Amino acid sequence: MTPLHPRTLRRPTPHRHAPRRHAPYGVLVVFFVLASAAAIATSAAFAQDEPSGGAMQGGMRRRVVHDPAFFRANVLPLLERNCIGCHDADDPDNRTRHRLVPPGPDGAFSDAAVQANYESITQLVHAPAPERSLLLLKLVPLARGGIDHDGGKADGRDFAPALIDAKGPLVQWVFGADARNAAPVAVLAPWPTTVPRGTELSLDAALSFDADGDDVSIEWEIVEKPLGAEARLSQRSGATTSITPDRDGPWLLRCRPRDGKLSGWPVLVRFAATRPVERAPGDDDRPLPALRLSSTQRRLTRALYFDLLGRSPTREEIARVAAMPYPERVDRLLGSLETWEHWFDEEAFFFLLIDRFRPVSDRLAAVPTKMRDDLLTFRDAHRAFALSAEFNARNPGNDTYVTVVLEQFLSIEVQSEKRLLKEAKRMYDGQKTRIFKQLGTSQSDVVRIALEQPGYVDNFARRMEQRYLGAPLPADEHAAVVSRLTLDPSEFRPLMREWLTSERYTSPGRAPRVKDDHQFIRGLFVDLLGRPPALQEFRNMRNALQALTDAAPLRGVLAKVMLDSGAVIPPAGARDAADARTSDSAAGAVTSEEILDLFHRLLGRDPTPDELSAFLTVLAEPGATWRTAALALLTSPHYQYY
C-alpha cells in the first residue's frame, strides 16, 4: 500500500463572505439515514420533540413571544456583524433564501429595516419549541445536533461560540427573553460518555441559574434509548436525577430549566451504555503502566481481537493485553465469554438467524457460556441451533427445513440428491425411513443423522480454517483436523489455540486480511467511540452495507458521520479534549503525539517517518484538526485491513 497522506482531505478556512459548499456532506448524511444507519448522535437535532417547548399553562404548551424591542437592541447588532455579509438584501449576487436589510448610509437601521429583519428572522424561530429553531440549529455544530449551513458554524472558526451561548442575547431572545425577564440557563456537572450496563449514572444540574434571580426548576426526560430498554429516571423533576441503563447502546436524555415564566435551552445528555468489562483472573483497577509496545505486539493483538471478538481492541485492552507473552494473550481471549458470543453470532449469521429470527431462547442464549466453560461442543451448539424455534421459523415446512440442513451442514446440493431429499422430508414428517443408511422417525433424527456424517465435520473445519487462518489448510493438514474433530469434538478449542499460536498465523510475512462488514462495523465503533455497537446499531449498519454490491463508498460515509457524531474519543495529547468532543475547533496545530495515537488506534501501527512528516505538514495549516487526520486514516485503504 502507498504511504498515507492527508493533504487531499484538508479543510481550508473559508472566506467570511464566501459560503462553504456543504452540499456533498448533506447528501451523505441523508444517504446514511436512508440506509438505516442513523443510530448515532447526529439525530439529536430532531430529538427536540417534547412534550414541552415553552412554559405550560393549563396543560397546554405556550408559544414563546419574541420581543421586538429586545430584538432591536440586542439581536440586530449580532446579525449585522455576523450575517448581513452573506444575506444582504441589497446585494444583487445574494442567492440566499433569507434576506436581511442592511443599515443605511449613517450606519443605523431604519424602522422599516428593523421591521423587515424582525419578520425575516422570526420565520427561523419555532415559537412552540424554541430549541427547534432553524436560527439556532444552523449555527450549532453538527456534532452537537446542528444542521447544514453554508455560512458556517459557531465553532470558533466561522463564528464565535459565544453567539450560541445559552445566556447570550441571541439564545435568550429565541427562548422569549425581554428587558424584564431572562430565560433560565441549565448547567450540568460533567458526566461520562460511556457507562457500563447496570451501573448507575448520576446527573446534577444544581448550578443552573436565572439572571433575574428567579428560582429555577429542572425537568428530566429520556429522549432516546436502545431497543428493549426499560430503565427509568429516578426522578423527572429536581436538581438531580439518576438512571441505571439496562441495555447496551446510545442513550439521550434531556435536562430542561424553567423559571415559572420561561423555559431555557435544554441540555442534551448523551452517553453510551456498554457491556461490563470482563475481568480475567489477576486483573484489578490499578492504573495501567505506560508501555512502549512493539509493532509486532500491536499487530498480533489486533489480529486476535478481530479474529476472535470481531472487533479491534480498546485502549485499555491494548495496554492490559498486548504486553503479555503471546500464548497468554491467546489463552486470555479463548477463555473470555465475548469470544464465544462472537462465535455464536457468526454461526447464527451463517444460518441467517438474524433480525426477527435472531436466537433469543434461554437454551440458545446459554450456548456461549457453556462453550467457554467446555460444557458444550460445536456439534452440540449446532444441534441446538437446528432444533430451535428460531431455526424452524426461519425455515418453515419439511422441504425448506431439510434443504437448509443438508446444504448448510453438509454442503449437499439437494437438487442432485432428490432421493435423499425425499426420504429426509418423510423422516421430518414422522415417517419411519432411512437417510445415510440410518433409521429415523422425526425432525430431531434428521438433525442427529446429518451431524454424524463425515461431511459435516469436513464442512465445519473448512469454514473455521477460513475464519481464523484466512485460507484453507493443505489437504493433509485439513484431513488431520477433520479426523481429530470427528473423534473428539471437544478438541475444537485446543485446535484453535494451535492455529492462533502457529507460525502460519504469527509470521511477520503474513498478508493483511480484509475486514468483513461485521468486523468493520464493530471495529469502527470501538476505534471511535471506545465501545462495541449495540444490537440495533450493528444491525442497521450491517443491513445497509450488505444491501449494496460495492459497500466501500458507504464505509467511508459511515466513518465520516460517526466522526462528526460528537461522541468520538479524542486522541491522547489533544490540548482541548472537552472541546474536541463537541466541535472541530482546535487549540493549535495537531501534534505528533496525537497523530501517533490515531495511527495506533485506527491502524495498530506506528506511522512511517514519511507519513508522520506529511501529516504534521498538512495539519499545521489553518482549519486542520485531529479530525482531519482521523478522516484521512478512516477513509484510506489501510483501514480496510487488519
With a cut of 50, say whether residue 206 has pLDDT above it.
yes
Query: Which of residues 36 and 324 earns the better pLDDT score?
Result: 324
Sign for the CA dihedral angle at 540, 545, 548, 549 comes to negative
Is residue 285 situated within a structural domain? no
Band the pLDDT of 17: cuts 50, 70, 90.
very low
Is residue 27 situated within a structural domain? no
Is residue 97 situated within a structural domain? yes
With a cut of 60, say whether residue 46 has pLDDT above it.
no
pLDDT tens digit sequence for 383-402: 999 999 999 999 999 999 99
Query: Which of residues 54 and 287 earns the better pLDDT score?
Result: 287
Give the integer Cα–Cα distance in Å for 565 and 555: 15
347 sits in the region (left: phi over 0; alpha: psi -120 to 50; else beta) called alpha
Say whether both 424 and 554 belong to one domain. Answer: no
Output the nine-digit C-alpha cell for 221: 426526560
With a cut of 80, say whether residue 405 has pLDDT above it.
yes
Say whether both 228 and 301 belong to one domain. Answer: no
Is residue 434 situated within a structural domain? yes
Query: Which of residues 142 and 559 earns the better pLDDT score?
Result: 559
- All residues at 6 or more sequence positions from 602 whose CB lies less than 8 Å from its CB, including other chains: 527, 630, 633, 634, 639
Residue with cell 490515531: 598
Asked if 359 and 347 count as a contact pair (C-beta separation under 8 A), the reply is: no
Helix (H) or strand (E) run with residue 273 in it: strand 267-274
Among 457, 473, 506, which residue terminates a domain?
506
Model's pTM, two decimal places?
0.75
Task: Give the DSSP letter of residue 140.
Answer: S
Residue with cell 461490563: 276
Say whether both 200 and 333 belong to one domain. Answer: no
pLDDT tens digit sequence for 454-497: 999 999 999 999 999 999 999 999 999 999 999 999 999 999 99
Return the biggest CA–CA distance within the chain: 102
pLDDT tens digit sequence for 329-385: 999 999 999 999 999 999 999 999 988 898 888 899 899 999 999 999 999 999 999
Band the pLDDT of 588: cuts 50, 70, 90.
low
CATH of the domain at 589: 1.10.3130
Say whether both 488 and 445 belong to one domain. Answer: yes
Say whether both 348 and 260 belong to one domain. Answer: no
Q: Report the half-sphere exposure of 347 (CA within 13 A, side-chain side).
A: 24
pLDDT, residue 291, reads 66
Among the listed residues 131, 161, 82, 23, the one whose alpha carbon sits nearest the alpha carbon of residue 584: 161
Among 480, 506, 532, which residue terminates a domain?
506
Is residue 280 situated within a structural domain? no
Band the pLDDT of 534: cuts 50, 70, 90.
confident
pLDDT, residue 541, reads 93
Is residue 312 situated within a structural domain? yes
pLDDT tens digit sequence for 80-98: 999 998 999 998 888 888 8
Say whether both 140 and 199 belong to one domain. Answer: no
CA dist list (Å): 589 to 23, 344, 574: 27, 46, 10
CATH of the domain at 246: 2.60.40.10
pLDDT tens digit sequence for 275-318: 887 776 666 666 555 568 888 999 999 999 999 999 999 988 99
pLDDT tens digit sequence for 117-156: 999 999 999 999 999 999 999 999 887 788 989 888 998 8
Say whether both 454 and 564 belong to one domain. Answer: no
Give the integer Cα–Cα distance in Å for 180 and 172: 12
With a cut of 80, say whether residue 107 has pLDDT above it.
yes
Among 116, 143, 174, which residue terminates a domain?
174
Give the integer Cα–Cα distance in Å for 588 and 385: 56
Say whether both 501 and 522 belong to one domain. Answer: no
Q: What angle do CA 597, 603, 604 make, to 5 degrees?
A: 70
Span of 27-36, 147-156, 219-228, 473-482 with lowest mean pLDDT: 27-36
pLDDT, residue 282, reads 64
Quote the number of domains for the chain.
4
Is residue 188 situated within a structural domain? no
Q: What are phi and psi of 221, to 5 degrees?
A: -155, 155
Alpha helices, H only, 439-491: 443-451, 454-469, 475-487
Is residue 181 situated within a structural domain? no
| Overall average pLDDT of the 45-66 stretch | 53
With a cut of 60, say whether residue 48 has pLDDT above it.
no
Give the integer Cα–Cα distance in Å for 74 and 72: 6
Give the integer Cα–Cα distance in Å for 536 and 150: 32
With a cut of 90, say whether residue 498 has pLDDT above it.
yes
Domain hosting 435: range is 295-506
Band the pLDDT of 47: cuts 50, 70, 90.
very low
CA dist list (Å): 422 to 115, 407, 428, 434, 454: 83, 14, 10, 10, 21
With a cut of 50, say whether residue 11 has pLDDT above it.
no
Say whether both 492 and 573 belong to one domain. Answer: no
| R_g over Cα of the chain | 29
Sign for the CA dihedral angle at 455, 456, 457, 460 comes to positive
Give the integer Cα–Cα distance in Å for 50 and 40: 20
| Overall average pLDDT of the 43-47 stretch | 40
With b for 16 or more beta-carbon neighbours within 10 A and e for fewer, the 273-309 pattern comes to bbeeeeeeeeeeeeeeeeeebeeebbbbbbbbbbbbb
With b for 16 or more beta-carbon neighbours within 10 A and e for fewer, the 502-519 pattern comes to eeebbeeeeeebebebbb
Say whether both 303 and 160 belong to one domain. Answer: no
Say whether both 487 and 528 belong to one domain. Answer: no
CB burial class (10 A; 0-12, 13-18, 19+) of residue 111?
A: exposed
Say whether both 433 and 339 belong to one domain. Answer: yes
Amino acid residing at 345: D
Asked if 512 and 642 count as a contact pair (C-beta separation under 8 A), the reply is: yes
pLDDT, residue 332, reads 96
Asked if 253 and 222 count as a contact pair (C-beta separation under 8 A), the reply is: yes
